[in-house]
């Protein structure tokens, strides 16, 4: 087991849409042969805001056993797959706050040559899905990471339509991720693990 590629699926989800996609990424990464950690980022919203939304509060209870991410999870992983809802065309503040805490790892070069990928969800059509993924990629570039996307490597991607990463439109949380969105998420995770595994083996032989 020590030689398995280590994958971390790190996500933020308020009402569960991105969480469902994270579970699809976790399953796909595991099937691709990785040792996987599923981690949620810490909630920053005040308690009264969470309790004022029944779906938000219910989802927090549903996922209370999912461990919160620590910098050690980022350090441990060979490949990291991030998931987030969209907030005005960029990632959620909760996920950004975790990324902003990565300075100690970045400072010692611990994030260089790791593989990164992403997925996201929006409440409405044209809600900034591609912009959100690109906003995450900007962080990966600064870390010295290697970005892997689903591209159009499978026919289903011509229907899903997003070559940057998996995405889903939830209609304000009313529409759960369908098979197309979950399939794109699985493809994204599988490709990320495959490239990370090949990279590890190549660097070791070099």
How many other C-beta atoms are found inside a 10 Å radius of the C-beta of residue 11? 30
How many Cα atoms within 13 Å fall on the side-chain side of residue 116? 26
User: Could you read off the pLDDT of 130-182 as tens digits, one per residue?
Assistant: 999 999 999 999 999 999 999 999 999 999 889 999 999 988 778 889 999 99
Whole-structure pTM value? 0.92
CATH 3.30.2010.10 assigned to 6-205? no
Give exposure, 121-141, as e/b (b: 16+ Cβ within 10 Å).
bbbeeebbbbbbbbbbbebbe
Region 182-205: mean pLDDT is: 90
């Amino acid at each position: 087991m020590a030689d398995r590629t280590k994958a971390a699926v790190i996500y933020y989800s308020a009402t569960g849409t991105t969480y469902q996609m994270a579970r699809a990424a976790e399953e796909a990464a595991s099937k691709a042969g990785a040792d996987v950690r599923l981690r949620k980022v810490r909630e920053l919203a005040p308690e009264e805001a969470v309790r004022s939304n029944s779906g938000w509060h219910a989802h927090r209870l549903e996922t209370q056993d999912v461990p919160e991410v620590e910098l050690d999870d980022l350090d441990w992983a060979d490949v990291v797959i991030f998931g987030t809802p969209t907030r005005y065309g960029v990632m959620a503040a909760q996920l950004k706050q975790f990324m902003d805490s990565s300075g100690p790892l970045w400072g010692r070069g611990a994030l260089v040559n790791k593989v990164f990928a992403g997925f996201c969800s929006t409440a409405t059509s044209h809600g900034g899905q591609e912009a959100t993924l690109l906003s995450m990629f900007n962080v990966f570039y600064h870390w010295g990471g290697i970005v892997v996307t689903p591209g159009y490597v499978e026919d289903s991607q011509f229907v899903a339509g997003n070559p940057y990463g998996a995405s889903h439109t939830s209609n304000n949380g009313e529409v759960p991720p369908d098979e197309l969105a979950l399939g794109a998420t699985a493809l994204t995770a599988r490709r990320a693990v495959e490239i990370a595994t090949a990279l590890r083996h190549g660097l070791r032989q070099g």
